[in-house]
Amino acid sequence: MRVGLFIPCYVDQFYPQVGIATLELLEKFGCEVVYPPNQTCCGQPMANSGFEHLTKGCNDLFIKNFEEFDYIVSPSGSCVLHIKEHLHGEGVAAHLHGDGGDRSTKGEGHSGGRGTTIPRKIYEFVEFLTDVLKVENLEASFPYRVGIHQSCHGQRGLKLAQMSELMAPGFSKPEKLLKMVKGIQLINLIRGDECCGFGGTFCVAEEAVSVKMGKDRVADHLHNGAEYITGADMSCLMHMEGILHRQKSTVQVRHIAEILNSQL
Amino acid sequence: MSSSRDKILATVKGNQPEQRALPELPVAAGAAAPGAAGTDHSGAFISMLESIGGSAYLVSGYERIATILREQYPRVGRIISGCPELAVIAETGERYADPHVLEDVGLAVLRAHFGVAENGACWITEDRMIERALPFIAQHLALVIRCQDIVVDMHAAYEWIEKYVPAASGEGGADSYGFATFIAGPSKTADIEQSLVLGAHGPRSLIVFLIDEGLSDAGFY
Amino acid sequence: MKGKDHAALADEFNKDEPRVNWHDETLWWVRQKRDKAAHKVPEWEELREMASRIKDNVLSNLSEYLQQFEAAATANGITIHWAADAAEHNAIVLSILRRHEVDKMVKSKSMLTEECHLNEFLLAQGIDVVDTDLGERVVQLAGEPPSHIVLPCIHKKKEEIGEIFHEHLGTPKGNADPQFLTHAARLHLREKFLTRRVALTGVNFAVAETGEFVVCTNEGNADMGAHLADVHIASMGIEKIIPLRKHLGVFLRLLTRSATGQPITTYSSHFKKPRPGQEMHVVFVDNGRSTHLGRTDFRSSLKCIRCAACFNTCPVYRRSGGHSYHTAVAGPIGSILAPNLDREKYADLPFASTLCGSCSNVCPVKIDIHEQLYKWRQVIVQGGTAPFAKKAAMKTMNWVLSNPSVYHGAGKAGRWFMLNAPFTVNNGLNPWYKQRDMPGVPKESFGEWYKKNKK
């Protein structure tokens, strides 16, 4: 199967090792992985700030780069959720604009001129491993105490793990994979799925609350003895890492792809 | 010139979304006729009532109720009851022209219709309240139900109200009351730093007596 | 004159970190109580689905249900009034008071009357209104609006409440015991109930089938007011209608568990007819609801039963407090209702969120709150209310991200600056940097690595 690798813009620029780990793991599991070099961004930072109408360029570029693949995989729950929910081709019932009172099938935020199958075949990295590749074991080793941060879009949007709000059976795809890693000790948290406060431009527009939320998440992990904080979204981890470094903490963040790909 | 009513209704009608059907409600469990044989919910009811700050007593009848009330409220002052059987300890059979005269009532003892196991509530209609204000203005409140008159949940409760709760006039069902309420435990508040305090503006305590005619009195006197 | 927005108010709120921790922990505890109660109801998720569908049916038949309620209630001796907006609601209440030559009244909790600023209006007309819900009385004495629709003074510590009561009720200075203070309030408000002839309550649910309405309280204050008054006025938003009485079974099972974790409030009072000799009035209030009903994306916010579960779960609300939303109904639901009332004044609220989605999943009537927050952002920005700097920044971002070569260049340049001239980003102008370090700078981007190693 041909997998198109989508690397979020901030991972590309600041955390290339996450992209490398993702790529290596997918290849280990037998995928033919291609990284289209002209990719940039999914458009979420603009859309979440109310500028969905400016994302046409991003959307067109995304479709151009990725339409041909059997699957598109990305180490980012929020980017994948955004693409799934907001990447539309013409002719598909679109987001309502204006006063929210009329239905329109056209709009600046949608790729003009073509439909797309991408929303149906794009997967976040963890769910690709559990649901498509059906990974049952890993040759990985990470003998440390690790706290899992359940990023909101991945958890509540992509259903990577059960959310505490619902009265429903528990499950966690990230945890399932991490448990395959030799030597790992997963810690319990006091608040298992509270938001870290990154939230896109929220992290600077509402800096005080954003940081407070991040500090509280970090404190939960520290209180429970984490040596590493992991998760499926580097944006959350980047935010918590910024706080950890400011606190001069020895606790580090690692994207789940890095842990699943790590050797002794 | 159209009134506000006309304008509001016209705008609402114009903006209503397309029809969405009502869902099926759960089949009310345990909504059998009063007194019918079935699951006994009194244990669950008592446990729930106690967890919300109320007290419960299983009793054989009104003599036992009178005894317990004398013990629990020795200095409560004025007692008013809707149960003629309690004339020995309470004002019964009176009507009051003005609810304000009930201001000094220490204890009201009233018959309720049934209890609800899932939340410890009792349903009472105004014809059993003597005055609407009484169950709220009394410092303490006691309600009396038959121990077999307990439904499992609120769906069953509304089925009972629909089918079995009689009006003062003796007719049944839906249109029978001008005022009615579910009372679940004593009045309370947690508005001050989430500290639960029993006794806000309504009664400071609540007892529910569950009459079980099969109980024997031996050993209580 | 533009007031401070949520971000500025939240920033002030966060200056006292221990207090934020206290506020956050208190409300998180209420969320946990909700979870505990919901876990005890095996069919909880089915109940939410039922409640959601009942309310969908209400919205699609609202005009019929309003008329059905009006007919039934009128036949039972209740007088129905229709208020197009807040001003009309307030005028109706005043006219009833004037007709009875009354200048003192008691009021139990009604967020609708907060929305209409009824208290201020009546005060200006020489009417003394006493709020009888304990939390509401506290904030009334303190001269503040409530910060939470169910727990009005959750932002106040008991010592502060003790001070307020000492000043206004004469309780001993320094007494902060909740039991003692509640009892003091009981005595103080009992006198009001006994001496005032007009009581105003809210409405939790109005049943179209029978013309009765239900008022839920733990304190019994709505009942103490109504049953001692000559006149009972009940104010309700037109969306509070439900079709059948048996639907109360669904809503009363969900409401208080969602709100406080209790299985039910102490009192769930069903008002159908006035007491003999009493006047009972119900005021239907529109105030923008009929317009909102026409918005495909946003109308479902009218399903709200005002339980505040969304407040308690919201990590932003818990760390910014209700007053940061500068509106009567705060929190997540407030953030999607308020822009309907005033697009400009409340343009900041849909952005006071990380879109984490917790709110939508505790909502007993399944309002897609976090999705509406996202959609309001689009409406607000396209309506032109975004600040110029933000618009410019976004346009730039769009250009960069639509052009791969520009993106690659910008990324490389950005990393160069961060590595070689870190002071350009590590400074006071960079809001990220205030309390967080910037991410480290790798020697090459993923794209550069891939080009070198895999192509």
Residues in A touching C296 (Cβ below 8 Å): 96, 100-103
In the structure encoding, which two tokens stand for residue B154, read together?
Answer: 């609120």
Name the band, by pLDDT with cuts 50, 70 and 90, for residue C411.
Answer: confident
Contact C297 A100 (CB under 8 A): yes
DSSP codes of every residue in C259-295: HTS-SS-SEEEEE-SPPTT-EEEEEEE-TTHHHHTT-
**How many angstroms separate the CA atoms of B215 and B195, rounded?**
39
**H or E, element range at C237:** strand C231-237
Q: Is A17 on the interface with C (CB under 8 A)?
A: yes
Angle at C297 between CA C292 and CA C301, to 5 degrees: 55
**How many angstroms separate the CA atoms of C166 and B28, rounded?**
51
Q: Is B96 on the interface with C (CB under 8 A)?
A: no
Position with higher pLDDT, A52 vs C37: C37
Partners of C235 in the β-ladder: C283
Contact C41 A167 (CB under 8 A): yes
User: Is the confidence at residue C351, as pLDDT, over 60?
Assistant: yes
User: 3-state DSSP call for residue B16?
Assistant: coil
Instruction: Give the residue among A38, A61, A17 at the shortest CA–CA distance from C407.
Output: A38
Touching C (3+ Cβ pairs <8 A), the chains are A, B
CB within 8 A of C15, min separation 6: which ones?
none
Backbone angles phi, psi at A12, to 5 degrees: -55, -45
**How many angstroms separate the CA atoms of B5 and C69, rounded?**
13
- Give mean pLDDT, residues C321-335: 97
Residue of C nearest to B131 (CA): C227
Task: Mutate one of B140, B177, B193 to test the C interface: name it (highest C CB count within 10 A).
Answer: B193
B138-147 confidence digits (pLDDT tens): 999 999 999 9
Partners of C242 in the β-ladder: C207
Q: Is A239 on the interface with C (CB under 8 A)?
A: yes
Q: Is A2 on the interface with C (CB under 8 A)?
A: no
Measured between alpha carbons, how far is residue B79 from residues A124, B132, B182, C267, C336 in Å?
69, 16, 22, 22, 51
The ranges assigned to domains in chain A are 2-132, 145-260
Confidence (pLDDT) at C396? 84
**How many angstroms separate the CA atoms of A248 and B135, rounded?**
62
Q: Is B8 on the interface with C (CB under 8 A)?
A: yes
Look at phi and psi of residue B199 and say left if phi exceeds 0, alpha if psi is from -120 to 50, else beta: left
**How many angstroms separate the CA atoms of A178 and A232, rounded?**
11
Contact in structure between C68 and C208 (CB atoms under 8 Å): yes
Confidence (pLDDT) at B32? 58
DSSP codes of every residue in A145-192: EEEEE--HIIIIIT-SB--TTS-S---BHHHHHHTTSBT-EEPP-SST
Confidence (pLDDT) at C205? 98
* Chain B to chain C Cβ contacts (< 8 Å): 243
Place of tokens 């003062």: B168
Which of C252, C271, C275 is opposite residue B154, by nearest beta carbon? C252
Environment class of C452 (CB within 10 Å of its CB; exposed 0-12, middle 13-18, buried 19+): exposed
Name the band, by pLDDT with cuts 50, 70 and 90, for residue B162.
Answer: confident
Confidence (pLDDT) at B2? 75
CB within 8 A of B6, min separation 6: which ones?
none
Q: Is B50 on the interface with C (CB under 8 A)?
A: no
**How many angstroms separate the CA atoms of C53 and B70, rounded?**
50
Name the band, by pLDDT with cuts 50, 70 and 90, for residue B129.
Answer: very high
Residue of A nearest to C437 (CA): A242
Contact C82 B3 (CB under 8 A): yes
Residues in C touching B7 (Cβ below 8 Å): 84
Angle at B183 between CA B127 and CA C213, to 5 degrees: 70
Q: What percent of chain C has pLDDT over 90?
A: 86
CB within 8 A of A163, min separation 6: which ones?
A155, A156, A193, C357, C358, C361
In the structure encoding, which two tokens stand for residue C418, read together?
Answer: 């961060």
In the structure encoding, which two tokens stand for residue C430, read together?
Answer: 């960079």
- Backbone Cα Rg of chain C: 25
CB within 8 A of B60, min separation 6: which ones?
B211, B212, B213, B215, B216, B217, B220
Which of C135, C223, C272 is opposite residue B136, by nearest beta carbon? C223
Look at A31-45, A78-92, B11-25, B82-96 and tell me which has the smallest mean pLDDT. Answer: A78-92
**How many angstroms separate the CA atoms of B50 and B205, rounded?**
11
Instruction: Give the residue among B66, B208, B73 at the shortest CA–CA distance from B144.
Output: B208
Confidence (pLDDT) at A101? 38
Contact B19 C265 (CB under 8 A): no
User: Is the confidence at residue C294, as pLDDT, over 70?
Assistant: yes
Instruction: Give the residue among B183, B153, B159 at the shortest CA–CA distance from B172.
Output: B159
Measured between alpha carbons, how far is residue C365 from residues A192, C87, C253, C301 in Å?
24, 29, 12, 9
Position with higher pLDDT, B40 vs B176: B40
Contact in structure between B181 and C268 (CB atoms under 8 Å): yes
A100-127 confidence digits (pLDDT tens): 333 333 333 444 445 789 999 999 999 9
**Chain B nearest C-alpha distance from C269 (Å):** 4
**How many angstroms separate the CA atoms of B28 and B167, rounded?**
22
B116-126 confidence digits (pLDDT tens): 999 999 999 99
Contact B15 C290 (CB under 8 A): yes
Q: Is B202 on the interface with C (CB under 8 A)?
A: yes
Contact in structure between C108 and C81 (CB atoms under 8 Å): no
Confidence (pLDDT) at B218? 54
Which of C320, C411, C434 is opposite residue A13, by nearest beta carbon? C411
Contact C7 A9 (CB under 8 A): no
Q: In C116-194, which ranges are E strands?
A: 128-131
Which of C354, C380, C394 is opposite residue A202, by nearest beta carbon? C354
Confidence (pLDDT) at B35? 59
Q: Is B177 on the interface with C (CB under 8 A)?
A: yes
Task: Mutate one of A26, A33, A40 to test the C interface: name it (highest C CB count within 10 A).
Answer: A40
Measured between alpha carbons, how far is residue C327 from residues C4, C116, C144, C182, C232 in Å?
12, 11, 12, 28, 27
**How many angstroms separate the CA atoms of C152 and C321, rounded?**
11
Contact B137 C49 (CB under 8 A): no
In the structure encoding, which two tokens stand for residue A27, read together?
Answer: 């290849």
Residues in C touching A246 (Cβ below 8 Å): 435-437
Length reported for chain C: 455
Look at A11-25, B32-46, B145-159 and tell me which has the smallest mean pLDDT. Answer: B32-46
Residues in B touching C67 (Cβ below 8 Å): 9
Instruction: Give the residue among C149, C268, C46, C55 at the shortest CA–CA distance from B119.
Output: C268
Position with higher pLDDT, B108 vs C382: B108
**Chain C nearest C-alpha distance from B155 (Å):** 5
Confidence (pLDDT) at A259? 98
Weakly modelled stretches of chain A, pLDDT under 50: 90-113
**How many angstroms separate the CA atoms of C390 and B29, rounded?**
58
Which of A39, A213, A242 is opposite residue C439, by nearest beta carbon? A242
State chain C's mean pLDDT as an integer: 95
Contact C218 B201 (CB under 8 A): no
**How many angstroms separate the CA atoms of B132 and B127, rounded?**
9
3-state secondary structure A11-47: HHHHCHHHHHHHHHHHHHCCCEEECCCCCCCCCHHHH
Q: What percent of chain B has pLDDT over 70?
A: 86
Burial C314-335 (b: 16+ CB within 10 A, else e): bbbbbbbbbbbbbbbbbbbbbb
Which of C10, C45, C382 is opposite residue A166, by nearest beta carbon? C45
Contact C398 A16 (CB under 8 A): no
Name the band, by pLDDT with cuts 50, 70 and 90, for residue B93.
Answer: confident
Domain C41-287 has CATH 3.40.50.10420: yes
Residues in A touching C28 (Cβ below 8 Å): 191
User: Is the confidence at residue B214, as pLDDT, over 90?
Assistant: no
**How many angstroms separate the CA atoms of C445 and C451, rounded?**
10
DSSP codes of every residue in C336-389: HHHHHH-TTTTTTGGGS-----HHHHH-TT---HHHHHHHHHHHHHHTT-S-HH
Confidence (pLDDT) at A100? 39
**H or E, element range at B59:** strand B55-59
Fold of A145-260: Rossmann fold (3.40.50)
Confidence (pLDDT) at A94? 42
Contact C82 B5 (CB under 8 A): yes
State chain B's mean pLDDT as an integer: 90
Confidence (pLDDT) at C410? 86
Residues in C touching B162 (Cβ below 8 Å): 245-246
Name the band, by pLDDT with cuts 50, 70 and 90, for residue C424.
Answer: confident
Position with higher pLDDT, B81 vs A56: B81
CA B176 to centroid of chain Cα atoms:
16
Which of C189, C210, C271 is opposite residue B179, by nearest beta carbon? C271
The ranges assigned to domains in chain C are 1-34+317-386, 41-287, 391-453
Contact in structure between B124 and B143 (CB atoms under 8 Å): yes
- Whole-model pTM? 0.94
In the structure encoding, which two tokens stand for residue B70, read together?
Answer: 């004398």
**How many angstroms separate the CA atoms of A77 and C98, rounded?**
61
Cα torsion C244, C245, C251, C253 to 10°: value is -140
Contact in structure between A186 and A146 (CB atoms under 8 Å): yes
Partners of A228 in the β-ladder: A146, A252
Residues in C touching B181 (Cβ below 8 Å): 223, 267-270
Place of tokens 């609350």: A209
Q: What percent of chain C has pLDDT over 70?
A: 99
**Chain B nearest C-alpha distance from C445 (Å):** 50
Contact C178 B193 (CB under 8 A): yes
Confidence (pLDDT) at B29? 56
Measured between alpha carbons, how far is residue C48 from residues B104, C39, C62, C63, C360 in Å?
44, 13, 20, 24, 11
Name the band, by pLDDT with cuts 50, 70 and 90, for residue B95.
Answer: confident
Name the band, by pLDDT with cuts 50, 70 and 90, for residue B1.
Answer: low
> For chain B, which domains are there?
39-188+195-211 (3.40.50.10420)
Which of C315, C362, C397 is opposite residue A46, by nearest beta carbon? C397
In the structure encoding, which two tokens stand for residue C46, read together?
Answer: 């089915």
Confidence (pLDDT) at A89? 57
Position with higher pLDDT, C32 vs B37: C32
User: Is the confidence at residue B190, as pLDDT, over 70?
Assistant: yes
